[in-house]
Amino acid sequence: PTGQPESDPVKPNIVLINCDDLGYGDLGCYGSELHDTPALDALAADGALFTDFYMASPVCSPSRASMLTGSYPTRIGFGGRPMDNMGVLFPGHAVGLHPDEITIATMLSEAGYATLAVGKWHCGDQPDFLPTNHGFDEWFGLPYSNDMIPESGYPDLALLNNRDTFDLNPDQSLLTDRYTTEALEFIRQNQAGPFFLYVAHGMPHVPLFISDAFVQHSGQGDYADVVEEIDASV
């Protein structure tokens, strides 16, 4: 009625799950007969199932930066020198997603959302480029890909809690479960909402790591075991 203030619009809670290198045909809802993915299939059945989707890049750093900002990679400094391998950042690079760039987390934080990033970041490992400078209240995860480890000639891999080292060269078979635990705790603490939760699983990017509970779980090999553990996380 005229003269009465409008009620505040409902602010939905948002959970964005990003799985590194998961293929289009790896889920039951997209036709896989090798992987048992009931949780993700249920989301598809109860919601919208998209059959066309395009990222701005086929590799980690520029695709993630583009997804978070809505910008083409070259617009935000990704996709060319001094980076190699089509724009992938490597440990110690002095480049990354500039703090002045506006991400979805920045916008939602300004709209009153609690925000958490869990998992792989890969948009710059220097302090200025980390998630807590891009609209996330908190972050728990790896700064780059899980194959950038001492065994491959890289520095020690740090599992970070915000900017502090939580674990050095962590047991990666535990990471999917660790990320899930962090995500659930955030949801419990912010269940009154609104919240934005970004869960960026490092799997099934190689090398593959599987928790004891999911070793030989699928009967279809390590890759299928990893996919089914991600589904259980969901």
User: What are the C-alpha distances in Å from 73 to residues 93, 107, 111?
Assistant: 17, 19, 25
| CB proximity list for 119: less than 8 A, separation 6 or greater | 18, 140, 141, 142, 175, 179, 198, 199, 200, 201, 202
Q: Are 41 and 27 in contact (CB under 8 A)?
A: yes
Looking up tokens 């598809």 gives 44
Residues paired with 102 in a beta bridge: none
| Set 60, 134, 201, 205: catalytic member | 60
Cis? peptide before 155, omega within 30° of 0: no
Cα-to-chain-centroid distance, residue 230: 12
Tokens of 140: 């728990």
| Set 122, 134, 205, 217: catalytic member | 122
The residue type of 11 is K
Number of H helices, E strands in the chain: 5, 6
The closest of 126, 116, 118 to 89, measured between CA atoms, is: 126
Q: How far apart are CA 156 and CA 28, in angstroms?
A: 37
60 is catalytic: yes
122 is catalytic: yes
Question: Residue 149: how many CB atoms within 10 A of its CB?
Answer: 16
Residues designated as active site: 60, 122
